[in-house]
């Protein structure tokens, strides 16, 4: 098998080195531009040298001069290749005014250049590179592959591969990597014919946070010391380098940031802090310090272990320290403390304490029994009163005058004094049988009124995936019930609409209300980001998608509904590229936790009140997101305050290389500082009448930390 493979490779190599012909050339302007050898003994030697330099063609002149290049025939065909090669008379080596051209078999470009890692995260690496010196045609894409070489984790993950479209692309962020792991990253360039050999770069992801250590256990106490038993720490994504024991004064809650270290005793006292490190030791010394005496007055790892005043028992905790290269991570245990004070005559008072405790337990037991009896009596009385006074559905009933609910919710002009508003809302939506609804354990997020799950709904013999808001209505305060009804009514008023994630219906149990909304298989943002890794996002769908989204916003506007969470993450996308606007009304609690400053209009900074012209501004940013294939707006500004300042000073998102001028003019009009000068949603529905160019380069990075909380 090995012999056959070598034979196949040899045959392929020989066949690829064919004679292309004789072409006009001169010493001052050779047909192939790069002189490699002045004395090439045979064509094979010249071909080998050119192939090693990634050129597609080799050329010989004056029976021995070797030239390389990727294009030939600029001056036309010649018949003057009459000089046989010096040591191979069976082949021609051009002449003084002609060049014999041979193909080298090279198809792909040379490797990318100057690859480097410019930013490391715990699960990502940002990489930049320069294009190949020799492209041998148009570069169409780059492929990056990250392979684990070394890791602190017990199990390494498979290789991560990402494809970046566009020859002008020169950077990307590899996501989904393992913390505390060394990667060998290869970068291949691809032209219309083949891929290059890889360029390689090595890099580490940042270490992860150690596991939270167990709380120390107090095993002994004196008037100035407390001895605690420590448990060994663990870190899945980094080394356990050291341990620190810290002391916190009673009633104080110290900061526990993963990259924050406490001061020693002396400096903490100088700065008026109520917490300090009392000792540090290397992980290799854990067996020596696993029984740690706090307050013994010694120096431990450069920290003064100051004596304690145990009449007021301090809190004691353990920090696991993980250090690697220049990165340090800290994990903090819960704090342990004694509830009783130290007393030197404690042994003499044990009998008195025991008697006191027995009396207290007896009294508390009697009070508990009396409370139980009183509870059942009051409950029985309450049930009788409830059956007489309340309507059948009381869980979400709002009693009282209408003016307590604002104008977004269902409120008729004149109502009786006692109205079940929830029952009025129920008349407008489908009451889903419990047998038709399946609720998964998967939690999308936790909203104001409860958790949001994925689920399945059966209707007319068809099954579809939905978002299910689980609302424990018996636990809601009256103000939260009113707010929930307002937001539910927003969804009722807006549904149904083809380009909205509609309210499907509600389902009730004795203690829970389930609000069921449409859920698309993916979001627009995720689909755009997937295109950076090789998935297809049809460019000709960008403007139709934008037009359909504008139609949905126009529909919301007719009901005076302002979408306050508008960006590419709030747009669902069906498998046939139909957008579904999510996040209005009660649906906003199913969205990711986004930092919306980068989508906020200039007049809305610092003003929580949103308006339709602010949504138009965000629509312009969404168009930019689509054209950048999911890029982060203002990615060069890491702080939200910097974004706010820049926008107020007139900075706007840039025109991308492949964005036509008419389309960018529409986007710019959405960002007009005068809100009344921005286009209407009706005007934006005509977006698809514009033209769009193929996107050949992805130039804007995606930085999730700038977008998500």
pTM: 0.49
Q: Is the pLDDT of residue 340 over 70?
A: no
Residues 682, 634 within the same domain:
yes
Q: What is the full DSSP assignment across 148-214?
A: EEEESSSSPPPPEEEEEESTT--EEEE-SPPTTEEEEEEEEEEESS-BPPPEEEEEEPPP-PPPPPP
Residues 258, 291 within the same domain:
yes
Residues 201, 223 within the same domain:
no
Residues 629, 678 within the same domain:
yes
Tens of pLDDT, residues 524-544: 998 998 888 777 888 889 999
Q: Given 332, 360, 382, which residue is the final one in a domain?
A: 332
- pLDDT value of position 64: 80
Residue (of 628, 642, 562, 539) closest to 597 by Cα position: 642
**Parallel/antiparallel/unpaired status of strands 437-446 and 450-459:** antiparallel
Residues 543, 679 within the same domain:
yes
Q: Is the pLDDT of residue 339 over 60?
A: no
Tens of pLDDT, residues 680-696: 999 999 988 888 877 77
Residues 514, 575 within the same domain:
no
- With cut-offs at 50, 70 and 90, classify the pLDDT of residue 382: low
- With cut-offs at 50, 70 and 90, classify the pLDDT of residue 153: confident
Select the highest-mean-pLDDT range: 339-343, 437-441, 499-503. 499-503
Q: Given 332, 365, 398, which residue is the final one in a domain?
A: 332
Q: Is the pLDDT of residue 6 over 60?
A: no
Residues 603, 535 within the same domain:
yes
The rounded percent of the chain whose pLDDT value lies above 70 is 88
Distances (CA, A) of 673 to 243, 411, 634, 640, 702: 55, 37, 18, 19, 26
Beta-carbon contacts of 603 under 8 Å, excluding residues fewer than 6 positions away, are 614, 675
- Please give the Cα distance from 95 to 22 (Å, whole number): 10
Residues 121, 257 within the same domain:
no
- With cut-offs at 50, 70 and 90, classify the pLDDT of residue 381: low
Residues 97, 125 within the same domain:
no
Residue 6 domain-assigned?
no
- pLDDT value of position 56: 94
- With cut-offs at 50, 70 and 90, classify the pLDDT of residue 351: low
Residue 290 domain-assigned?
yes
Tens of pLDDT, residues 553-602: 999 998 898 888 899 999 999 888 999 998 888 888 777 788 889 999 99
Contact 562, 612 (CB under 8 A): yes
Between 145 and 406, where is the model more confident? 145
Q: What is the mean pLDDT of residues 262-278?
A: 90
Residues 514, 527 within the same domain:
no
Residues 289, 432 within the same domain:
no
Average pLDDT, the chain: 83
- pLDDT value of position 380: 67
Structure tokens at 91: 């082949």
- Please give the Cα distance from 591 to 600 (Å, whole number): 17
How many distinct structural domains can be found in the chain?
5
Tens of pLDDT, residues 696-709: 778 888 888 888 87
Residues 559, 683 within the same domain:
yes
Q: Which domain holds residue 182?
A: 113-205
* Of 102-106, 123-127, 357-361, 641-645, minimum mean pLDDT range: 357-361
């Amino acid at each position: 098998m090995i012999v056959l493979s070598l034979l196949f490779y040899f045959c392929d190599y020989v066949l690829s080195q064919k004679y292309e012909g004789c072409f006009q050339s001169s010493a001052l302007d050779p047909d192939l531009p790069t002189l490699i050898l002045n004395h090439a003994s045979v064509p094979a030697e010249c071909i080998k040298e050119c192939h090693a330099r990634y050129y597609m063609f080799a050329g010989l002149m004056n029976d021995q001069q070797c030239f390389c290049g990727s294009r030939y025939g600029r001056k036309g065909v010649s018949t003057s290749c009459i000089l046989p090669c010096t040591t191979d008379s069976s082949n021609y080596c051009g002449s003084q005014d002609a060049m014999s051209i041979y193909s080298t078999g090279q198809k792909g470009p040379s490797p990318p250049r100057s690859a480097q890692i410019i930013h490391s995260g715990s699960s990502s690496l940002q990489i930049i590179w320069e294009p190949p010196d020799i492209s041998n045609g148009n570069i169409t894409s780059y492929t990056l592959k990250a392979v684990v070489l070394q890791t602190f984790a017990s199990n390494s993950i498979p290789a991560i591969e990402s494809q970046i479209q566009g020859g002008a692309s020169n950077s990307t962020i590899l996501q989904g990597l393992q913390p505390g792991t060394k990667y060998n990253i290869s970068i291949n360039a691809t032209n219309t014919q083949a891929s290059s050999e890889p360029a390689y770069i090595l890099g580490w992801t940042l270490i992860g946070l150690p596991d939270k250590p167990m709380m120390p256990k107090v095993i002994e106490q004196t008037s100035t010391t407390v001895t605690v038993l420590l448990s060994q720490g663990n870190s899945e994504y980094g080394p356990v380098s050291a341990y620190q024991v810290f002391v916190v004064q009673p009633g104080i809650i110290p900061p526990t940031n993963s990259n924050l270290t406490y001061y020693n005793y002396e400096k903490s006292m100088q700065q008026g802090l109520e917490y300090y490190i009392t000792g540090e030791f290397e992980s290799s010394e854990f067996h020596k310090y696993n029984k740690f005496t706090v307050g013994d007055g010694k120096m431990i790892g450069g920290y003064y272990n100051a004596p304690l005043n145990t009449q007021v028992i301090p809190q004691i905790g353990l920090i696991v320290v993980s250090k690697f290269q220049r990165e340090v991570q800290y994990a903090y245990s819960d704090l342990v403390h004694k509830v009783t004070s130290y007393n030197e005559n404690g042994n003499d008072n044990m009998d008195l304490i025991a008697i006191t405790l027995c009396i207290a337990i007896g009294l508390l037991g009697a009070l508990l029994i009396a409370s139980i009896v009183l509870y059942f009596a009051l409950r029985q009385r309450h049930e009788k009163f409830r059956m007489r006074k309340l309507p059948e559905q009381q869980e979400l009933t709002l009693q009282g005058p209408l003016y307590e609910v604002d104008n977004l919710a269902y409120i008729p002009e004149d109502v009786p004094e006692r109205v079940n508003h929830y029952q009025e809302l129920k008349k407008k939506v489908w009451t889903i049988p419990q047998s038709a609804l399946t609720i998964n354990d998967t939690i999308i997020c936790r909203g104001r009124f409860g958790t949001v799950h994925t689920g399945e709904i059966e209707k007319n013999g068809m099954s579809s995936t939905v978002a299910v808001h689980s609302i424990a209505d018996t636990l809601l305060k009256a103000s939260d019930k009113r707010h929930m009804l307002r937001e539910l009514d927003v969804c009722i008023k807006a549904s149904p609409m083809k380009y909205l994630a509609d309210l499907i219906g509600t389902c009730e149990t004795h203690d829970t209300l389930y609000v069921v909304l449409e859920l698309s298989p993916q979001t627009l943002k995720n689909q755009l980001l997937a295109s950076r890794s090789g998935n297809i996002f049809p460019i000709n769908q960008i403007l139709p998608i934008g037009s359909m989204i504008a139609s949905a916003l126009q529909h919301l506007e007719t009901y005076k509904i302002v979408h306050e969470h508008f960006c590419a993450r709030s747009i669902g996308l069906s498998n046939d590229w139909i957008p579904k606007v999510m996040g209005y009304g009660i649906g906003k609690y199913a969205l990711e936790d986004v930092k919306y400053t980068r989508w906020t209009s200039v007049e809305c900074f610092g003003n929580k009140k949103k308006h339709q012209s602010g949504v138009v501004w965000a629509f312009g940013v969404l168009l930019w997101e689509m054209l950048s294939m999911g890029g982060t707006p203002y990615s060069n500004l890491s702080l939200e305050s910097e974004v706010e300042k820049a926008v107020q000073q007139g900075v706007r998102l840039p025109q991308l290389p492949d964005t036509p001028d008419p389309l960018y003019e529409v986007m710019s009009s959405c960002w007009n500082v005068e809100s009344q000068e921005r286009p209407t949603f009706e005007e934006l529905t005509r977006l698809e009448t514009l033209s769009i160019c193929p996107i050949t380069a992805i130039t804007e990075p995606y930085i999730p930390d700038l977008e998500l909380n």
